[in-house]
C-alpha cells in the first residue's frame, strides 16, 4: 500500500466498534483467536467501511441502499494518495478540483479526497437513485460547498455532456466497470466466494453493486477507450486524466491509443492492495507552456 495509507495494519475491531456501534454484532473471534468479521457478508462489510470512515476520516454519516456498490476503503484511499503524489510532482498543490466519473451512491472518492487533502469534487453519475443517495451523504456531512454533483444523461458517453472545453478541473478519477455483462460478473463472484470458503449458490456479492456500476458493453477495455477518445476532445479541460485499470493487458492498448490521440505524457502507477494487483493510468495533453500557464493561473 501507499506509505500514507492508514490501513496497512490489521483492523482494530474493538476500537472500530466503539466508534461505530453498528459494527459490533458482526464481530466474532475466529479459530486463530483473532477478532474479525465475515467478509462474505455484505452488511458486515458495509458496517466495517462505515466504521473506518467515521474513525479515520471523520465522516459521521455514511449510508445508502444496500443494493448499491459498497467499496473497500483501503483500496479507494490508495488511489487518492497516488493522485496526490501525481499532483505534487506537477506542482499542483492549491485549489484542487477533482472530477469523479461514476461517483456512485457511496460517494467514496469525494469523502476520502476531501478528508485527506481538502480537495473539492464534481461527482458524475448517470443513475438518479445513486445521485440521490450521494447527495444525502453530502448533506448529512455538511459538504455541500466541497462536493457538487452532475448528471450524465447519456450512458454512451463518459465526459461528453458533463465536461466542456471551457471547464477547468485539476484531475479526473475513474473506477470503470470491470465486466462485459452480468454473466461475466457472476463468474467473478463465484470465484470470490470460493476464495472465501463460502458456498457458490449464495451468489451474493460481498461488495454488492448495480448493473451500471459493474458492467459495460464491451467491458473495461471498451469503457476506457471511450474515455480516452472523449478526453482527447477536451485536451485543456483537465490537467490530468486518470483511471484505475484492472486488467493489465489493457495498458498496452491504452498507451497505443493515447499516442495516436496526441497525449504528451502517459504514466502507469502500480497499486498493490493485499493479494490484488491493480494500476492507475494517468495522461495529459498539455504541452510544457500550457502546464506552466496552468500553474501561474
Count Cβ atoms below 10 Å from residue 248 Cβ, excluding itself.
12
Cβ distance 134 to 104 under 8 Å? Answer: yes
Helix (H) or strand (E) holding 132: helix 128-140
Separation of alpha carbons 149 and 99, rounded Å: 10
Please state whether beta strands 97-101 and 265-273 pair in parallel, antiparallel, or not at all (unpaired): unpaired
The total of other beta-carbon atoms located within 10 Å of residue 58's CB is: 10
Q: pLDDT tens per residue, the chain (297 residues)?
A: 899 999 999 999 999 999 999 999 999 999 999 999 999 899 999 999 999 999 999 999 999 999 898 999 999 999 999 999 999 999 999 999 999 999 999 999 999 999 999 999 999 999 999 999 999 999 999 999 999 999 999 989 999 999 999 999 999 999 998 545 455 545 554 554 455 555 555 544 444 544 444 446 778 999 999 999 999 999 999 999 999 999 999 999 999 999 999 999 999 999 987 777 899 999 999 999 999 999 888
Amino acid at each position: 500500500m501507499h506509505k500514507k495509507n492508514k490501513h496497512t495494519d490489521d483492523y482494530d475491531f474493538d476500537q472500530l466498534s466503539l466508534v461505530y456501534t453498528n459494527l459490533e454484532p458482526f464481530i466474532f473471534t475466529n479459530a486463530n483467536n483473532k477478532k474479525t468479521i465475515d467478509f462474505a457478508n455484505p452488511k458486515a462489510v458495509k458496517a466495517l467501511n462505515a466504521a473506518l470512515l467515521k474513525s479515520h476520516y471523520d465522516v459521521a454519516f455514511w449510508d445508502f441502499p444496500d443494493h448499491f456498490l459498497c467499496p473497500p476503503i483501503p483500496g479507494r484511499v490508495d488511489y487518492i494518495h497516488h493522485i496526490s503524489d501525481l499532483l505534487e510532482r506537477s506542482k499542483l498543490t492549491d485549489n484542487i478540483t477533482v472530477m469523479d466519473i461514476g461517483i456512485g451512491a457511496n460517494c467514496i472518492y469525494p469523502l476520502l479526497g476531501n478528508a485527506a487533502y481538502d480537495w473539492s469534487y464534481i461527482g458524475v453519475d448517470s443513475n438518479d437513485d445513486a445521485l440521490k443517495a450521494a447527495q444525502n451523504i453530502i448533506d448529512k456531512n455538511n459538504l455541500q460547498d466541497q462536493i457538487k454533483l452532475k448528471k450524465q444523461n447519456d450512458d454512451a458517453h463518459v465526459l461528453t455532456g458533463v465536461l466542456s472545453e471551457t471547464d477547468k478541473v485539476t484531475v479526473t478519477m475513474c473506477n470503470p466497470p470491470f465486466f462485459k455483462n452480468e454473466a461475466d460478473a457472476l463468474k467473478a463472484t463465484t470465484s470470490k466466494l470460493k476464495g472465501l470458503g463460502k458456498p457458490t449458490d449464495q451468489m451474493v456479492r460481498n461488495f454488492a453493486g448495480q448493473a451500471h456500476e459493474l458492467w459495460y458493453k464491451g467491458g473495461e477495455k471498451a469503457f476506457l477507450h471511450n474515455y480516452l477518445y472523449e478526453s482527447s476532445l477536451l485536451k485543456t479541460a483537465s490537467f490530468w486524466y486518470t483511471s484505475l485499470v484492472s486488467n493489465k493487458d489493457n495498458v498496452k492498448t491504452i498507451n497505443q491509443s493515447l499516442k495516436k490521440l496526441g497525449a504528451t505524457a502517459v504514466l502507469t502507477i502500480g497499486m498493490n492492495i493485499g493479494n490484488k494487483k491493480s494500476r492507475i493510468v494517468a495522461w495529459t495533453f498539455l504541452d510544457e507552456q500550457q502546464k506552466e500557464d496552468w500553474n501561474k493561473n
